[in-house]
Every structure is written in structure tokens, then in C-alpha cells.
Amino acid sequence: MEEFRKTADNAILPLQLYVSSLDGQGLSMNNSYAKEMKKNAATFEAQYKLFEKAIKKKDQDAALSALQQMAVAVVNYRQAGRLTDDMGNIPDIQEIRRSTMRRPTQSSFVLTQ
């Protein structure tokens, strides 16, 4: 349980920083999904704090409830940020590269004789 607690704690800051980078880092580049991701990151952090309290009190029901809410927040975060594939899995690096490669359009080809 202690190992998971450390891992979950270490996830809070990256969740927030990724949203901040998507949000333009103060450059007034707002997007709708970043707001949703920010809300989910805050939910994850709040539920993590409840999880910690439940562990200290050795309250299994409260710990399980907080864990479930943390899981929901992460799934919603990934979906809002389009960080999952169609099956809800996180794509590997090769899939991400393939999906972000610029594909030529017909109008980008110039036919010369």
C-alpha cells in the first residue's frame, strides 16, 4: 500500500504540468479539453488526500472509495486529453508517432511535366 501511495503522490504534479503545457503556459491559448483535464487532475489530488487519511486511520472502505474515484479521474483525464486509443488503452510511442505524422494531401502535390 505504501508503494502505491508514493506512486500516486508522484503522479499529481505531472498531471497538472501536462495540463499547464496544453493550456499555453499563460499565453492565452485556451482549449476546452484542458479545462476538463485540469478538473480531473484536481479531483485526483483531492481523492489522493482522502486516500492518505484513510490509510492513516486504517479505514479500508474509505481508502477503496478514494481509490475508485482516483481511477475514474485518471480515465476521464486521459479521455479528455485524447491520451487513449479507441479501446481506452494508452498507445505506445510508435502508435503516437504514426498518428502525428503529417500526411500529404492531394493539393500538396504539384504535377509538372
d(CA 50, CA 65): 9
pTM of the predicted structure, to 2 decimals: 0.72
pLDDT score of 104: 54
Long-range CB pairs of 49-56, under 8 A, 24+ apart, other chains included: 51/5, 51/8, 52/5, 55/1, 55/5
Under a CB-based contact definition with an 8 Å cutoff, are residues 74 and 61 in contact?
no
* Residue (of 23, 50, 40, 28) closest to 80 by Cα position: 40
Q: Which residues of the chain have pLDDT under 70?
A: 24-30, 96, 99-113
d(CA 66, CA 46): 9
pLDDT score of 20: 82
